[in-house]
Amino acid sequence: MLTLYKQEVYKQIHKIGWWIALGFMILVQITFGIVGKRNPSMFAPSDLVGNSYVGGGLVMLIAIASTASIIAMEFQYGTMKQLLYRQYYRSQVFISKILTALTQLVFLQVVAGLMTVGLSLILFPSYHWATHVDGLTRGLVYLRSLGSDLLVGLLLLSVVILLSTVFKSNAAAIATGLVGYFMAQLASTLMIAMIAWQHWTKFLPFTFLLTNTQIQAPSFSRLTLFSTPMMIGGTLLYTVVFTLIAYLSFRKRSV
């Protein structure tokens, strides 16, 4: 299992595209930091920190694109047979890929977070991480936002993995993943109106794309009609369900 995981990571770190994407994210963060520094009226430091100097959204985009290709590339390159004929169980191969996707998401989130702290220290030395807002220090609020984004990220990635077991090419899986991401963003806002109209629709998976919002603004529960722990539980439950369906489709697939 460890061997398989190492092999997956080995492949990922040898993809130039991945490093370019990471470099791009860092560059965008720096750019927004500098722009914010020059135009204090346009961006307040707290807003910049709030979305990791735009890195927050980029983390998800990169993670989605990369996760989509993690399974689809094996079909595209014709390497799935080599991967699966060995002594390992298919479940092990599948889990090694899930773990790799997870590692990536966490890694990207950590880089975005460190960049955010670093940029703030350099560009906005007067932005004090220990200052209290709503009874928490800014540092903790930021950590909480990273964690809650990560949670919703898991849900999104489980859908991407489900889709990518169906596609046989990188491009199709990545495109669908990204388009799906933007649709989901739209859908999650529409969900609020939908839930107000038909209460039962709160059980649909789209509701749980709002979990990060609710963790950071608990009053959101009046709109989602779920308590925050319920939202967290629901997010995890849907993540597990989608991943299981993905596994079932992967398990008996002819290659």
Partner 1 sequence: MGTILTVDHLDKSFGAKQVLHGVDFFVEEGHIVALVGPNGAGKSTIMKAILGLIPVDGGGIDIKGQPVSITSHQALRNVGALIEYPGIYPFLSGRQQLQLFANQHNKQTNVDTIIKAMGMGKYIDRPAKSYSLGMKQKLGIAQALVNNPQLVILDEPMNGLDPQAVKDLRDLLRNLASHGTSFLISSHILSELEKLADDVLILNHGQIVKHATMKALEAAGGITYKIAVDNLDQAKAALTMAKSKFSVVDDAITLLDTAPGELNAALYALVNAGVAINTVAQQAHDLEGAFLAMVHDDQKEEA
Range 103-122, binding partner 1 (CB under 8 A):
none
Q: Which is nearer to partner 1, 82 or 131 (CB)?
A: 82
Residue 102 tokens, joined:
């997870």
Q: Which of 41, 42, 78, 222 binds partner 1 (CB under 8 A)?
A: 78
Q: Give exposure, 224-249, as e/b (b: 16+ Cβ within 10 Å).
A: bebebebbbebbbebbeebbeebbee
Size of the site for partner 1 (CB under 8 A): 26
- Whose CA is closest to 225, among 203, 205, 250, 248? 203
* Residues sharing a CB contact under 8 Å with residue 128, sequence separation 6 or more, in sequence order: 138
Q: Is 247 in the site for partner 1 (CB under 8 A)?
A: no
Q: Is 5 in the site for partner 1 (CB under 8 A)?
A: no
Shortest spacing between CB 3 and partner 1, in angstroms? 7
Q: Which is nearer to partner 1, 169 or 201 (CB)?
A: 169
Residue 11 tokens, joined:
């492949």
Binding piece for partner 1, criterion CB under 8 A, among 5-13, 112-120, 139-147, 215-223: 5-13
d(CA 8, CA 172): 21
The 8-47 contact track toward partner 1, x by CB under 8 A, reads --xx--xxx-------------------------------
CB 255 within 8 A of CB 79: no
Q: Is 255 in the site for partner 1 (CB under 8 A)?
A: yes
Q: Which is nearer to partner 1, 92 or 228 (CB)?
A: 92
d(CA 88, CA 95): 11
Shortest spacing between CB 55 and partner 1, in angstroms? 25
Q: Which of 77, 122, 237, 244 binds partner 1 (CB under 8 A)?
A: 77
Q: Is 222 in the site for partner 1 (CB under 8 A)?
A: no
CA angle 25, 176, 98 (to 5 degrees): 70
Q: Point out which residues pair with 133 in neighbouring strands.
A: 136
- Phi and psi at 147, nearest 5°, equal -65, -40
Q: Is 79 in the site for partner 1 (CB under 8 A)?
A: yes
Q: Which is nearer to partner 1, 84 or 236 (CB)?
A: 84
- Sites of contact with partner 1 (CB under 8 A): 3, 7, 10-11, 14-16, 73-74, 77-82, 84-90, 251-252, 254-255
